[in-house]
Amino acid sequence: MKQIEQWKSGFKDGIPICLGYFAVSFTFGIKAGIVGLTVFQTVLISVTNVTSAGQFAGIDMIAYGASYMEMALAQLVLNIRYCLMSCSLSQKLESNLFPVHRFFIAYGVTDEIFGVTICHDGKLNPYYSYGVMSSAVPGWIFGTFFGIVFGNIMPVSVLNALGIAIYAMFIAIIIPKAKESKSVRLVVLGAMVCSMAFYTLPIIKQVSAGFRTIIITVLIAGIAAWLCPINEENTNER
């Protein structure tokens, strides 16, 4: 009974995530259709990845004809944060928990699901995580499916409008944080300058889109960490 109650609690907490996932993945489905992927290929990507930034970057790199090596390195850089999240989340699990539970929990480690589960009081029951994933992940998968299906029949003008939805979402996330944090402002401005340089300067504009993403991400994140380090004492206090 305790496991059922934990699952129900997690399922309820995952509903808002489901709604957000549906909206974003709908745009992903549309974009994948524009690139030329089939419904099966697109849905399979969402089922096996469940990562917005990684999937959108992957679609862009497919469109640019990037190599497998570029795509692998880009995904490593973009998604390496999930390793840190998993390490943090593992501290909330019982030490004698069966490895199979850890495996299935790891599948659902996304920014939003991590945020909900890490804030859960006390030790994390795996069935709570399963509940969150049971409502959140289908939102991502079905949003992708409906995005690519309806993207094939929608007018071009509507598709163009919906195609910028992901960028609007990123802006909505970045601007409030940039107002509050100097380090975030530094990262945003630095990324803009570097991106412009890669598109305009004669020599480096020959670098492929995949390696541009990798270089800019590592370079700007490294500079920001050097110039605006996080005070470990303050972090521990929070």
pLDDT tens-digit series, residues 21-52: 898 898 899 889 888 999 999 999 999 999 88
| DSSP code at position 203 | T
Q: What is d(CA 87, CA 213) in angstroms, rounded to the nearest whole number?
A: 25
Indicate whether 238 pLDDT > 50.
no
Indicate whether 178 pLDDT > 60.
yes
The token duo for 113 is 């699901």
Q: What is the predicted pLDDT for the residue at 232?
A: 47
CB 113 within 8 A of CB 136: yes
Mean pLDDT, rounded, of the chain: 83
Indicate whether 163 pLDDT > 70.
no
Q: What is d(CA 156, CA 165) in angstroms, rounded to the nearest whole number?
A: 15
pLDDT in tens, 110-150: 888 988 888 888 889 999 999 999 999 999 999 999 999 98
Q: Which of 39-53, 83-97, 160-174 is most confident?
A: 39-53
CB atoms within 10 A of CB 96: 5
